[in-house]
Amino acid sequence: MIVMQSGLHVDRISGTEIFEFLTHPTDDNYQRWWPGTHLRLHILKHGSNGIGDVIYMDEFIGKRRVKMQAIVTEARTGKQITWQLKKFIRLPAWLSLDLEDDAGGVTITHTIRAGFKGIGRIVDPILRAFLFSDEFERAMDEHVKTEFPKLRDMLCS
């Protein structure tokens, strides 16, 4: 299993504000969040109370353009949201945000988990080499640490 994790604390914003923004996305708001980097984020299909929502995301992570569909598999208002990546079928890859409020703001833990169980684990090194390289991991960490303060600034203005 490949695990890529970034964490940061962002003051003057709550987990609920981040959760609400990400569970009710529009392309316009997403583009305002980080112009030129965030391109599209919207719901393709609604599930039940957010679970099962299918979202489309298009953004740059460093130099790499990442376009994906994902299904909301877990959602706890203001606390946590998990998306499972999808390309025709659900893939063995998940993106989770864990949100923990404190008196000054929120601690965000951004985690990508990808890989197979059982015998399928033999494919994990190929995933690591081509999709989840060290360069991509560094770019993702920088992206996460840049984007959430930008979200706070956008929501506070």
CATH of the domain at 54: 3.30.530.20
What pLDDT is attached to residue 148?
98
What pLDDT is attached to residue 108?
98
Cα(68)–Cα(38) distance, integer angstroms? 13
Q: What are phi and psi of 118, to 5 degrees?
A: 65, -145
Question: How does pLDDT run along the chain (157 residues), one tens digit per residue?
Answer: 899 999 999 999 999 999 999 999 999 999 999 999 999 999 999 998 889 999 999 999 999 999 999 999 999 999 999 999 998 889 899 999 999 999 999 999 999 999 877 777 787 777 777 778 999 999 999 999 999 999 999 998 7
Cα(44)–Cα(106) distance, integer angstroms? 29
What pLDDT is attached to residue 127?
75
Q: Is 65 exposed, middle or buried (0-12, 13-18, 19+ CB in 10 A)?
A: exposed
131 closest CA partner among 98, 92, 96, 97 = 92
Q: Among positive and negative, which fits the CA dihedral 117, 123, 129, 131? A: negative
Range of the domain at 41: 2-156
Alpha-helical segments (H) within the chain: 15-23, 27-33, 124-130, 134-156
What pLDDT is attached to residue 116?
79
What pLDDT is attached to residue 57?
97
The total number of structural domains that make up the chain: 1
